[in-house]
């Protein structure tokens, strides 16, 4: 079985962009992203430094990465680069499904923002099951939402939401079309997961 | 007036037949056919999953263990 290489990671991103209608750009090079960072900081949604250096962000159909694809850095090893690509492709699908509603509601409605993120976290969960054979700590993952300007009641809602997915994954079901595609692509390219 | 009375009668009839619809309070969950819904912090029901689309070679149904715990149960 093959291992995840920088080339394979780049190939995965290219295939994912084609499959889900996404674009990709480097966050550090983007003046637009710096403006967005200021805006989100001002809105109290997320801290500027965290946003620029640690978060991968999707605006409309473009994924802005704080790393160079295929080069492990800053907490993004090659698996994490594949996993975050899948996570952000869920947001691209959400955008394509509702090009006006998604960006507006994400910004103005905290319950919607939580729902959009929880759906993407649930996709990460399916990837995690495929790779390791077990899920991640849902409570810890949902706590990350506090960096998105969300309070405990929204974290609790996200935990409840993701747990519904977790129950299905534990029973061998498939919950996320994006994660199912990603796991299939990796398997087709010789990468072994814990779940066949 | 007649219209209001008719609507009230209809509402009473519906409640008699199907019971009171569950009020949406955060942490609550419910099944709507094959769809799992949970109550959001803004007190709106949110679709989480449609159990009929879970695959994995099983038949899936929405099932509630209690008012805060609903999910998809798969049967081979």
Tens of pLDDT, residue by residue over A123-180, are 999 999 999 999 999 999 999 999 888 999 999 999 999 999 999 999 999 999 999 9
What is the structure's pLDDT at B74? 94
In whole numbers, what is the pLDDT of chain A averaged over residues? 94
Q: How large is the average pLDDT for residues A18-24?
A: 98
Is residue A50's pLDDT more than 90? no
What is the structure's pLDDT at B9? 57
Chain A residues whose CB is inside 8 A of the B70 CB are: 164
Chain B residues whose CB is inside 8 A of the A117 CB are: none
Tens of pLDDT, residue by residue over A92-111, are 999 999 999 999 999 899 99
Is residue A48's pLDDT more than 70? yes
- pLDDT band at B5; cut points 50, 70, 90: low
Is residue B18's pLDDT more than 70? no
Enumerate the domain spans of chain A: 6-188
What is the structure's pLDDT at B49? 97
Q: Is residue B17 part of a domain?
A: no
What is the structure's pLDDT at B10? 55
What is the structure's pLDDT at A59? 92
Indicate yes or no: CB of B40 within 8 angstroms of CB of A174: no
Indicate yes or no: CB of B41 within 8 angstroms of CB of A110: yes
Task: Please state the domain count of chain B.
Answer: 1
Residues above pLDDT 90, as percent of chain A: 83
Q: Is residue B16 part of a domain?
A: no
What is the structure's pLDDT at A179? 97
Indicate yes or no: CB of B49 within 8 angstroms of CB of A168: yes
Q: Is residue B1 part of a domain?
A: no
What is the structure's pLDDT at A63? 98
Q: Is residue B3 part of a domain?
A: no
What is the structure's pLDDT at A49? 87
What is the structure's pLDDT at B35? 98
What is the structure's pLDDT at A156? 98
Domain with B36 in it: 22-75
Chain B residues whose CB is inside 8 A of the A171 CB are: 56, 58, 72-74
Q: How large is the average pLDDT for residues B43-60?
A: 93
d(CA A68, CA A53): 12
What is the structure's pLDDT at B72? 97
Q: Is A59 exposed, middle or buried (0-12, 13-18, 19+ CB in 10 A)?
A: middle
- pLDDT band at A193; cut points 50, 70, 90: confident
Around Cβ A68, how many Cβ atoms within 10 Å? 14
User: What is the full DSSP assignment across A96-148?
Assistant: HH-TTHHHHHHHH-HHHHHHHHHHHHHHHHHHHHHHHSS---HHHHHHGGGGG
Indicate yes or no: CB of B46 within 8 angstroms of CB of A161: yes
Q: Is residue B7 part of a domain?
A: no
- pLDDT band at B55; cut points 50, 70, 90: confident
Q: How large is the average pLDDT for residues B38-55?
A: 96
Q: What is the ipTM of this complex?
A: 0.89
Q: Is residue B8 part of a domain?
A: no
Cα–chain center distance at A93: 11
User: Which of the 8 DSSP states describes residue B24?
Assistant: -
Q: Give the pairing of strands A62-65 and A57-59.
A: antiparallel
Mutation to test the A interface, candidates B47, B71, B75, B76, most A Cβ within 10 Å = B71
């Amino acid at each position: 079985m093959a291992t995840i290489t920088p080339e394979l990671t780049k190939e995965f991103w290219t295939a994912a962009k084609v499959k889900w209608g996404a674009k990709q750009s480097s966050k550090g090079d983007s003046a637009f992203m710096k403006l967005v960072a200021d805006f989100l900081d001002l809105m109290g949604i997320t801290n500027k430094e965290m946003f620029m250096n640690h978060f991968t962000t999707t605006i409309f159909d473009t994924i802005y990465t704080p790393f160079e694809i295929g080069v492990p850095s800053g907490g993004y090893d090659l698996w994490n680069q594949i996993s975050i690509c899948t996570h952000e492709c869920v947001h691209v699908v959400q955008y394509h499904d509702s090009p006006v509603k998604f960006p507006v509601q994400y910004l103005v409605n905290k319950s919607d923002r939580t729902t959009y993120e929880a759906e993407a976290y649930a996709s990460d969960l399916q990837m995690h099951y495929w790779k390791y054979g077990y899920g991640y700590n849902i409570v810890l993952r949902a706590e990350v939402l506090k960096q998105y300007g969300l309070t405990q009641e929204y974290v609790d809602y996200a935990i409840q939401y993701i747990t519904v997915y977790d129950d299905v994954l534990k029973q061998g079901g498939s919950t996320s079309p994006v994660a199912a595609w990603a796991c299939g692509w990796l398997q087709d390219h010789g990468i072994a997961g814990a779940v066949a | 007036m007649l219209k209001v009375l008719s609507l009230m009668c209809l509402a009473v009839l519906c409640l008699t037949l199907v019971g009171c619809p569950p009020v949406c309070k955060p942490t609550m969950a419910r099944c709507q056919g094959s769809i799992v819904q949970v109550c959001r912090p803004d007190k709106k029901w949110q679709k989480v999953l449609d159990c009929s689309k879970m695959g994995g070679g099983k038949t899936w149904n929405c099932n509630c263990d209690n008012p805060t715990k609903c999910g998809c149960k798969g049967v081979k």
